[in-house]
Amino acid sequence: VGGACTLLAYGFMMVLAVFEVGSFFSSELVTDMVMDGNQDRLIQINFDITMHDLPCNHMKISVTDAFGEEKIDGVNKFHYIPIDHEGNYKGEVYQADEVAELEAQELLAEMTEDEKKALETDWLSSSDTFKHTDFDSVIAVHDFTLMNFYADWCSHCREFHPTWQKSAEKISSKMKFKDADGQEFEVKMLKINCVDFQDTCTSAQVQAFPTVRLYKRDGSFAPFTAKRTTEDLVAFITDQVAKSHHVKAKH
């Protein structure tokens, strides 16, 4: 009886060994879904990117969703550090808004008077006398730009039009707004016809009309969501400019 039990035990161990060896050499795809317990709305991502032979003003950093369709708002606390061919630090350290300031200086220096005028006019029609081709340049040459994205067929846009015109006469390049450091700035008010300039509005991810945004020269913006009145526009601009710090950058 004892010998029989021993043989059964050896047989059982051999079967287990065969199954273990078989599972070791085979693989199985398993998917586990785990809920993230982190309740924080913000996430900090630290990264260091080195690009040789690329001027700082030709490099942009943005965060989008997994499909690359929607830009995710973030805090642009990063620096541009010029380096030589050996990777050593060389020259001034720039923040994003300082690079934008330098870009604007270079852009204006290279422009003709007609090109400068085009950056100061509304984008009403693709067939007017001005060449409206570079939306980024329009934003870059102004410290602050209040942009109204509209469509001709939109009834809300037509209702908003008289208020916008009245507000522009009062605010655009006339009123002074103080930033967080007490410096005074003007705000340029412009509007863009998203029927004629559909590609530009699509690139700016405009999804409803009218859409009003206050842009800083680095391309970041704050959406206007209050009532469409002159008083609310002034209050919105005052609040947003007061949160900003303006820099003076030099090469």
44-100, pLDDT tens digit by residue? 777 777 777 776 666 666 677 676 666 665 555 667 777 777 777 776 666 666 666
The residue among 227 and 5 whose pLDDT is bigger is: 227
pLDDT at 172: 94
Task: Please determine, for residue 217, whether its predicted confidence score (pLDDT) is greater than 70.
Answer: yes
Does 13 or 170 have the greater pLDDT score?
170
CA distance 77 to 96: 8
Q: Is the peptide bond before 162 cis (omega within 30 degrees of 0)?
A: no
Residue bearing the bigger pLDDT, 37 or 161: 161
- Judge if the upstream peptide bond of residue 210 is cis by omega within 30 degrees of 0: yes
Write down the pLDDT at residue 12: 83
Band of pLDDT at residue 23, cut at 50, 70 and 90: confident
- Report the pLDDT value the prediction gives residue 247, as an integer from 0 to 100: 59
- Identify the pLDDT of residue 35: 63
Q: What is the per-residue pLDDT for 224?
A: 97
User: Is residue 214's pLDDT more than 90?
Assistant: yes
User: What size, in residues, is the chain?
Assistant: 251
Contact (CB, 8 A) for 107 and 141: yes
Mean pLDDT confidence for 167-171: 96
Distance CA(103)–CA(86), nearest Å, equals 26
- Model pLDDT for residues 127-163, shown as the tens digit of each residue: 665 667 789 888 888 989 999 999 999 999 999 999 9
> By the 8 A CB rule, do 223 and 233 touch?
no
Mean pLDDT score, 104-116: 71
Identify which of 14-28, 35-49, 83-97 has the greatest average pLDDT.
14-28
Give the C-alpha separation, 109 to 250, whole Å. Answer: 14
User: Is the model's pLDDT at 249 over the cut of 60?
Assistant: no
Q: How far is residue 194's CA from residue 126's CA, in Å, rounded to a whole number?
A: 10
Angle, CA of 125, 143 and 123, to the nearest 5°: 0
- Report d(CA 137, CA 127) in Å as an integer: 19
Return left, alpha or beta for 200; rule: phi > 0 is left, psi -120 to 50 is alpha, else beta: alpha
Q: What is the DSSP letter of 83?
A: B
Cα–Cα dist 103/121, whole Å: 20
Mean pLDDT of the chain: 81
Q: CA torsion sign, 165 to 169 to 172 to 178?
A: negative
